Amino acid sequence: MSLMNNLSTSMISSSSSTFLAPTSFNSSRTQSVSVPLKSINIVKCVATPQEQQNAYKTKVSRNANIAKLQAGYLFPEVARRRAAHLLKYPNAQVISLGIGDTTEPIPDVITSAMAKRSHALSTLEGYSGYGAEQGEKALRAALASTFYRNLGIEDDDIFVSDGAKCDISRLQVVFGSNVTMAVQDPSYPAYVDSSVIMGQTGQFQKDVEKYGNIEYMRCTPENGFFPDLSKVARTDIIFFCSPNNPTGAAATREQLTRLVKFAKDNGSIIVYDSAYAMYMSDDNPRSIFEIPGAKEVAIETASFSKYAGFTGVRLGWTVIPKQLLFSDGFPVAKDFNRIVCTCFNGASNIAQAGGLACLSPEGLEAMQEVIGFYKENTKIIVETFNSLGFKVYGGKNAPYVWVHFPGRNSWDVFSEILEKTHIVTTPGSGFGPGGEGFIRVSAFGHRENVLEACRRFKQLYN
């Protein structure tokens, strides 16, 4: 009983996950800065330590790459703002449409499987220790047959993980510091941040809000949120997320065919993030491997987070075809396997049991139902902003709504919305300079909270 209380927060919101960043960083050694510096459009939300004259210092230099990072990772920053807001308004009914955190309970068929596996670990026959680092065989097979049937992807091309975010960093470790990369602009911040950490980038250039040596592929309403590849410089790696976080745009077959050709012509590798594929309403490819030739140029990452509400359970996967080779002919999958065996030790066996249940007929049906629920939320939010006269994007193929606030600073809009309606969103500039002037509204939440939030939006913007 006390376990449940310990693991919950008492905040009224659509997301009840504990997300608070440790506040101990506000110790005497640090000064906490949480006010955006409006004049230069940069938000410094990270605590900046002061030099301690008398404190013992080691002689180990700080990693210069980490020093390049401008602020905290985006989502803990949003969480920090939310926490600060709650301190200011302790009775506010804050609604979280910021961090894309799932809110609906996991279907029984899935949790029962996880409970069963847990119990089994206490029995002689059911106990298992280390699993294969690449994932349990049955799960790899189920992933292949569920998502990649007839695409020529085999069980052992699939590597089960504890989530896409972790996989992105492991892929960066595979690639090393001597590769160049391109990202969509705006994009999920882990691609850029992991690239900085890995040492692939130059310094942050404040005037353009970009890191040196990264190719930012602008995605805007004007280009249908697909980059003009004729203007994109060659890079070794191209991160591409579709359906897209944060814009919600889903690339068409024709667009992805062009992307694959672009990669082929340039000898580049696409890292294709398909975490939201099951939210697709239109008839667009759900996997990059639907495009002929993609197996020689692409890696695909995916996740159970937004399908099965596994944001806390932690399960995902990465597909690396055998045909994907480095310039000297060495298979990329071999190096990834080495990283997986050395820098990782497999996803939790209990989570994997859950994953297998997700892919049973009953599990798939149950997941579709929950996804359908969030999609209905998305529809409500889209309609709300449409009715208020906003230019609204996304929301059809992804659980994110991308709302345009032309000419406005997105952190300002974020703050205004938070202050006036107690709704947490995510400022578009957190996803790159191409996100400036936009707000991302996520559609995860209990229905009544989403409806209430829409009521408040209508009040604010009418």
Residues 148-177 that bind another protein (CB under 8 A): 156, 162-163, 165-166, 168-169, 173-177
The amino acid present at 146, given as its one-letter code, is T
Length of the chain counted residue by residue: 462
Query: Least Å distance between CB 408 and another protein?
Result: 28
Contact letters for another protein, residues 93-112 (x by CB under 8 A): ------x-xxxxxxxx-xxx
Query: Least Å distance between CB 387 and another protein?
Result: 29
Coil, helix or strand for 189?
A: helix
CB 306 within 8 A of CB 100: yes
Q: Please, which residue, 144 or 347, has the CB nearer to another protein?
A: 347
Query: Least Å distance between CB 32 and another protein?
Result: 12
Span 368-407, contacts to another protein by CB under 8 A: none
Give 440-455 as a 3 state SS string: EEECCCCHHHHHHHHH
Query: Least Å distance between CB 25 and another protein?
Result: 7
Provide the b/e sequence for 185-205 (b: ≥16 CB within 10 Å): bbbbbbbbbbbbbbebbeebe
- Give CA–CA dist 286/419, Å, rounded: 38
Q: Which stretch binds another protein (CB under 8 A): 129-137, 214-222, 252-260, 389-397?
A: 129-137
List 221, 341, 455, 460, residue binding another protein (CB under 8 A):
341
List 348, 360, 386, 387, residue binding another protein (CB under 8 A):
348
Query: Least Å distance between CB 172 and another protein?
Result: 8
Q: Please, which residue, 176 or 221, has the CB nearer to another protein?
A: 176
Q: C-alpha distances in angstroms, 10 versus 19, 93, 101, 418, 424?
A: 12, 11, 17, 19, 17
List 35, 37, 84, 126, residue binding another protein (CB under 8 A):
126
Span 56-85, contacts to another protein by CB under 8 A: 56-66, 69, 72-73, 75-76
* Paired strand residues for 272: 240, 300
Query: Least Å distance between CB 223 and another protein?
Result: 26
Of the chain, the end-to-end C-alpha distance in Å amounts to 46
Interaction of residue 355 with another protein, rule CB under 8 A: no
Q: Which of 128, 113, 94, 111 is nearest to 19 (CA)?
A: 94
Residue given tokens 């990693």 in the structure block = 63
219's CB contacts (< 8 A; 6+ apart) are: 184, 185, 186, 225, 226, 227, 244, 247, 249, 434
Q: Where are the beta strands (DSSP E) in 177-278?
A: 181-185, 204-205, 210-211, 214-218, 237-241, 269-273
Q: Please, which residue, 248 or 321, has the CB nearer to another protein?
A: 321
- Give CA–CA dist 29/54, Å, rounded: 12
Interaction of residue 122 with another protein, rule CB under 8 A: yes
Q: Please, which residue, 68 or 458, has the CB nearer to another protein?
A: 68
Q: Please, which residue, 249 or 424, has the CB nearer to another protein?
A: 424
Q: Please, which residue, 41 or 348, has the CB nearer to another protein?
A: 348
List 45, 47, 251, 356, residue binding another protein (CB under 8 A):
47
Span 203-262, contacts to another protein by CB under 8 A: 234, 236-237
Number of residues counted as binding another protein (CB under 8 A)? 137
Interaction of residue 40 with another protein, rule CB under 8 A: no
Q: Please, which residue, 306 or 396, has the CB nearer to another protein?
A: 306
Q: Are strands 423-424 and 95-96 parallel, antiparallel or unpaired?
A: parallel
Interaction of residue 291 with another protein, rule CB under 8 A: no
Q: C-alpha distances in angstroms, 67 versus 32, 188, 401, 433?
A: 18, 20, 33, 20
